[in-house]
Structure 1
Amino acid sequence: MIRRSLAAARPSLPLCSISRAAGSIVSARSAHSGASQSPKQLAALAPKRSQTTSRKASTLPYTHSPTAPPPPPTASTPSSVLTHPAIPDLKITLGSTSISIVSPSYGISKPFELDHTWLRDSCQEVGSSLQEGTGQKLWETSDVPIVSQKGVKGGLLDENKPPTLTTDYAASDVVLELTYRAEHHVQNAFSVTFSPVPPKSPTTPHVSRLPLSLLLSHASASLYREEYHLDPAGAPKPWLGSDLTSFPGTMLRPPRSDEVQPAPLDTGAAFARPSRVQWASLVDSAADHTEARWALAKGLVEDGIAFVTGLPTNNKTSCELPTPSNASSTPHLAYLAHLLGEIRHTFYGPLWDVRSLPSSKSKNIAYTNVDLGFHMDLLYFQNPPRFQFLHMLRNEVKGGQSVFVDSFKIAERIWEEDKEAWELLSKVPISYHYQNDGRHYRYSHPVFEVPSESSGHAGPSFSAPPVSSTSTISTPATASIPSSSNAGIPAAMPRLTAVNYSPPFQSPLPLPSHPLLADMVTRNKFYQALALFSRLTLSPEFRYQRQLAEGECVLFDNRRVLHSRLGFEFTDTEGEGEDKIKRWLKGCYVDGDAIWSSYRVLKRGRKGQEEES
C-alpha cells in the first residue's frame, strides 16, 4: 500500500494575532482595529515561562489605559465554556478530566481534547515546573498523575477554583489559568528515591498559567508544524535547473581577511534562487548581518543549495578550527560554518582539502582531474553529514565545472510516473562501504528515505499533487518510460527526509537481508527503478551547472542535492608547495540539527520583527 500524506487545513489566522487582539483590548481598542501601536508579540509562538510572583492578571473582559495600573482581579462565575474576545470563535469546554478547544479561524473546527495529565505536564511556571535560568523540566512525564488511574477521581483540577482565561499585562498574552488539587502534586521520583533529604510534598494547590498560543498549537497539527516546531523538513521546494538563476562569477581577487569591509545586503541576490550572499554582508559588523544570515539559512533549507561570495582565501594551508592562539591563520570557511552551526568532525578532520594531484600521487579520485559522477558523501555512515560547504581557494584550470541536481525533484517525477518504482526505491536497501587506511565503515540506506510516523520529521508532503498521471518520463536515452496505471485521484508524494545515492562507495546489494531482494521478479523491477533514477540525474532539465570562482563557497544539502564535477585539464607543473596546486577547495560538514536550529532562531526572530513593525 502506497503511503499518502494529507495536509491538515491551514489556519486562516497567524497565532501572533492572539497577542495583537489581546493588546488591543488592553489599550481599549477594538480587537479588529489593526492598531498601529502593536504590543509585544508572542515571539512567534514560543511559550513564555511565567514567574508567579510577578504576574498581574485579571479575568476578562476588561479595558484600561495602557499606562494605567491594571484593575484588581474580579470574581468570575464558573462556566463549562470559556471564551475570549481576542478570538471570537474560540470555545474551551471544561470536562471532568480534560478540556477541549474549538477555533475554526485557527483550523480547529472539531473539539480537540487536552487531558489534565498533559496540561499539568506542560506547565510553564518557572521555579515549580521549570528550572529558573535553564527553563528545563524539573520532573518526568511519568511523575504526573494519570487521570484514569486508581485514586484519581474527577480529574486533577480543583473544583472550587475553576479555570479562567486571563491576560498577562506584561506580555499582552492570553493565558489559561488552572488550579490543581494539592493531593495530586507532582514530585520527581528520582529525587524522592535518591536524595538524602527527600523533597516534601506540597500542601497547597498548584497554579499553572498556560499561554493560549501553546494550547492552540498543540490542538492543530498544521499550527504545531508551522508555528511551534517551525518544521524544517516541510520547507523544501524541489527545483528543476530552470528554477535556479545563473549569476556571473567575479574575476577579481577575493579580499584578504584584513581587507573585508562591511557591505549592505543585496536583498535581490540574497533571496533569489539560489540564494547568494556576500561575505562582507555576513560579518558581525555589517548592518544587515542578521537578515543576510536568514537569507542564507532560508535558501539552504528550502532549496538545499546556496552560495557565499567574496570569502577570503588567504588562509589556505590550515585545517584547524579557530582558537585564541590561531585566529589569524584560521581558514574563513570555519568562520562561515560557525555562523550557521557547528562543524561535524569525521575521519577527514574538521576541515579538509580537495587539491589537484596527479593520479599516481592521489589516494582519492576526487583529487584527480577526471569526471566525478553524481554522488553524496559518507553514505557508509549510519548518520551521514547533512550539509556540506565547499570553498574554492584556487581555480587556475580549464574545465572542472560543478553540477548539482535536486534529487527531491527527481523523486517527484518518479512518483508521478511510476509509483511502483518509487515504492521499491523507498524500501529496498543499498549497502555502502569504505574500507581503507585501517577503517571499515558500512551501512545500508534506501534511495528514498521516508520518515516514520513517530519521527520529528513526519508530516504532510512538501510536494504539490502531480498534474498528470498519464505522461511519460523523458530521459537522455532514445526511449521513454511509460507510466504504470495509477488509478484514483493523484496524491502528492509522501514527504522525504533524505535521498541516498553514491555509486562509487556502493557494495554488492544485500540480497539475504531483505525479502524484496530475494525474489528475482521484484529484484529486476528494482534494477529498473534504480536505472530510471540514474537516467533522470543525467537529464538536462534537472541540472544546475556552475563554475565556482575563487572566493566562492557553495553550501548544499548532502542528503538531498547530488553533486558532481566535470573533468579538467591538468598539468603536473614543476615546483613544490601550495603554488604547484592549480585547483584547490577546502571543505567541511555541518550537521542538519545545527543548521535547522539556526533556521528556527532566525525565522522566529524575523517573525517577531515583522509583528512589531
Structure 2
Amino acid sequence: MLDTPSHTTETKRAAAPIRAIRAEGARIAVELVGGRTARLSTRWLRLACECEACGDTASGKRWLTPADISTAIHAESFDASTPGQVTAIWQDGHVSRYDAAFLASHTDDAGAARFEPQLWDGGLAARLGRFAFDAVVGDDEALFQSLRALRDHGIAMLTGVPAEKEATARVAGRYGPIRETSYGKVFDLISRPDARVAGETARAQIPHTDEPFRYAPPGFIFFHAIRTGAGTGGTSLTVDGFHVAELMRTGTPELFDLLTRRGVTFHREHAGEVFFSAEAHVISLDAVGQVTGIRYNDRCLAPQQAPETEIDSLIEALAELTRLICDPQNQFQHQLQPGEVLVFDNQRVLHGRTAFDPTLAVRHLRSCNIDRDGVHSAFRTLARRFAPEEAEAVLYQGAIF
C-alpha cells in the first residue's frame, strides 16, 4: 500500500539531511551529509510510521502497536533520492515515508533536546519579563512572549490589569483552564481576624510553594493585586527553587541527595471539610538528574516518619533549604501595585511576603491556579507559529515524584 508522509519539516526539529540509508540487521545505518554514519533501531523505524493505516500518535488515532512489530522485522529496500524524504519498503510490502530531518534528529547520538531553565537570585529585576495586559489579552505573539518568560524564569509580571475582580479570570484564562480547588476557582486573599489560611493573616510568610499536601500541587499561580497598601509592608518575596537546589547540590550534596530520595510528608486539615496528606520528594529530578520541581512549605510539614539514623539528617536538610530560601541574596522583592499580576510556576518558584499592618491599609489579592501542562501546552501550540524550533524541547515537568 502507498502511504503519505506524516513527519513534516515544519513540525520537527531541524537536523542534518540524510545522504543514504541501508539495513544492517536489527539496525538501520544512516549516512548524514558531512560523512557521519549513525544508526536507528529497525523496530523503532517501523513503529515510527504514521501513515493512514498506522495512524498517528499525536492525535491518539493510532492503530499500530509495539506488539505488532516483531523482532524479525526488516526492510526490503530504502530510497533517499527524494530531497527531504526517506521511503522504506518492508518485508510484508508495507510502504513508509519519513521526513529526513525527523529521522536524523532521532539518530543514536542526537538525544532529546532538553530545555535548560535560566536560574536567578535576588537580582531578577533586570531580567523579569513584564507584559501589558492589553497585549497579552489581545495578541497571541505577546502571549507567547510571556509564556516564554515563564518557561525561562518560572515567573513573569503582567501590568495594566484592571483592578477589578472580573479581570483575574479573564487574563488567567489566556494561559489555560483555571483549576478549581477546595478554595474555589478564584480565591480572595484579604487579611481578616478570623483567617482560615495563613495568607489571610498579616504575618510574614517564608517563601514556599502552595499546597504541597496535594498529590498534584497547583502548577502556575496568578496573584492579581486589587489593593495593596503600598508602603505599609506586605512586600512580595520570590525565590527560584531551582537556584537554591543547585546551591545545595554544590554546597551540601549529601543533604541535596536526601531531599531527592527521601519522601517528606505534608498535610492540611480543616475539620469536617478536608484532610489532605501527601508524601513526596522536596526536590524532584528528571531522568538525567536535572531538577524538575520543588515542593516545600515549612508550615505544612507533618511530623516525619524516618529511621532514627536518618531523621536528624532529614531535619538538617530541610533546615538548610529553609536557610537558603530565607537568604535575602536569593530573594527577589517587589511591592505589588494595584493592576499588577504576578504569574509564577508554583513547582519552581517559592513565594512569600513581609509582614504588614492591617490597620493602616487593606491588602487584597485575588489568586487562581492553572495546571502546568495547560500552560506548557499553550506555549508549545504558539511556538509552532512563532518559534517552531522551540516547540518540542523537553520542558521541566514539575514536582512529580
> What secondary structure is seen at the aligned counterpart in 2 of 1:379?
coil
Kindly state the Cα deviation for residue 608 of structure 1 after the two structures are TM-superposed: 4.6
Which residue of the partner structure matches residue 117 of structure 2? 236
Percent identity (aligned): 26
TM-aligned CA distance change 1:430 to 1:97, over 3 Å: closer
Q: Is residue 392 from structure 1 mapped to residue 280 from structure 2 by the alignment?
A: no
Report if the CA contact (8 A) 1:43-1:607 is conserved.
Answer: no
Corresponding position of 2:246: 412
RMSD: 2.7
Are 1:279 and 2:246 an aligned pair?
A: no
Per the alignment, residue 136 of structure 1 pairs with 61
TM-score, length basis structure 2: 0.87
The reply on whether 1:377 has 2:210 as its aligned counterpart is yes
How many angstroms does 1:413 deviate by? 1.3
- What SS does the corresponding residue of 1:163 show, helix, strand or coil? strand
User: Structure 2 residue aligned with 1:120, among 34, 46, 50?
Assistant: 46
Match of 2:79 among 164, 170, 180: 164
User: 2:9: which partner in 1?
Assistant: 42
- Aligned-residue offset at 1:332: 2.0
Instruction: Check whether the contact 2:224–2:342 (CA below 8 A) recurs between aligned residues.
Output: yes
The equivalent of 2:313 in structure 1 is 525
Determine the structure 2 residue equivalent to 1:270: none
- Determine the C-alpha separation between the residues in 1 that align with 2:57 and 2:197: 52
Structure 1 residue 178 corresponds to structure 2 residue 88: yes
Deviations 1:265-298 (A, max 9, x none): xxxxxxxx211100111233xxxx2321121111
Correspondence 1:505 to 2:300: yes
Separation of aligned partners in 2, 1:336 and 1:222: 39
Quote how far apart the aligned CAs of 1:530 are.
2.1
**1:295 correspondence with 2:145:** yes
Q: How far apart in 1 are the matches of 2:48 and 2:191?
A: 56
Q: Quick check: which has more Rg, 1 or 2? A: 1
Alpha-carbon shift at residue 98 of structure 1 (Å): 3.5
Q: Does residue 217 of structure 1 match 2:128?
A: no
For the residues of structure 2 that align with 1:132 and 1:401, how far apart are their CA atoms? Answer: 47
2:158 maps to 308
Are the equivalent residues in 2 in contact too, given 1:353–1:584 (CA < 8 A)? yes
Task: Verify the 8 A CA contact 1:429 1:447 in the aligned structure 2.
Answer: yes
Q: Which residue in 1 is equivalent to 2:187?
A: 352
2:71 maps to which residue? 147
1:449 to 266, 284, 289: 284
Aligned pair 1:111/2:30, yes or no? no
Aligned AA for 1:396?
Answer: G
Residues in 2 aligned to 1:300 and 1:109: alpha-carbon distance in whole angstroms: 37
Paired residues of 1:43 and 1:605 also in contact (CA < 8 A):
no
Q: Deviations over 1:69-107 (max 9, x none)?
A: xxxxxxxxxxxxxxxxx848x4433224441225486xx
Q: Note if contact 2:124-2:332 (Cα within 8 Å) is conserved in structure 1.
A: no
Report the secondary structure of 2:12's partner residue. coil
| 8 A Cα contact 2:17 2:33, kept in partner | no
* 1:553 is aligned to 2:341: yes
CA deviation string 1:352-386 (max 9, x = no partner): 111122x2x22222112111122111111111112
Q: How big is the shift at 1:526?
A: 2.7
- Aligned partner of 1:536: which letter? L
Give the equivalent residue in structure 2 for 1:196.
Answer: none
Q: What amino acid is the match of 1:368?
A: T
Higher normalized contact order (CA 8 Å, seq sep 6+, divided by chain length): 2
Cα distance in 1, alignment partners of residues 61 and 26 from structure 2 = 26
User: Higher strand share goes to which structure?
Assistant: 2
Contact 1:177-1:207 within 8 A present in 2 as well: yes
TM-score (norm 1): 0.58
Q: Retained in 2: the 8 A contact 1:44–1:607?
A: no
What is the CA–CA distance in structure 1 between the aligned matches of 2:389 and 2:37, rounded to whole Å? 33
1:446 deviates by 2.1
Partner of 1:18: none
Cross-structure match for 2:399: none
**How far off its partner does 1:423 sit?**
1.1
Q: Which residue of 1 aligns with 2:178?
A: 343
Q: Which amino acid counterpart does residue 120 of structure 1 have in structure 2?
A: R
Instruction: Answer yes or no: is the 8 Å Cα contact 1:405–1:537 preserved in 2.
Output: yes
1:119 to 1:364, Cα distance in 2 relative to 1, 3 A:
same
Amino acid at match of 2:128: P
Match of 2:274 in 1: 439
After superposition, what is the alpha-carbon deviation per residue over 1:202-243, rounded to whole angstroms, capped at 9, x for unaligned?
A: xxx321101112212222565532xxxxx4xx3311111124
SS in 1 for 2:112: helix
CA deviation after TM superposition for structure 1 residue 347, in Å: 1.0
Contact 1:174–1:211 under 8 Å retained in 2 = yes
Change (3 A) 1:609 1:335: farther
Contact 1:216-1:223 at 8 Å conserved across structures: no
Q: Secondary structure at the match of 2:319?
A: helix
Could you tell me whether the CA contact under 8 Å between 2:50 and 2:56 is conserved in 1?
A: no
User: Contact 2:202–2:357 at 8 Å: present in 1 too?
Assistant: yes
Please list every run of 5 or more consecutive structure 1 residues that lacks an aligned counterpart in the other structure.
1-40, 48-85, 149-154, 168-172, 183-204, 226-230, 246-272, 317-330, 452-457, 460-493, 512-517, 573-580
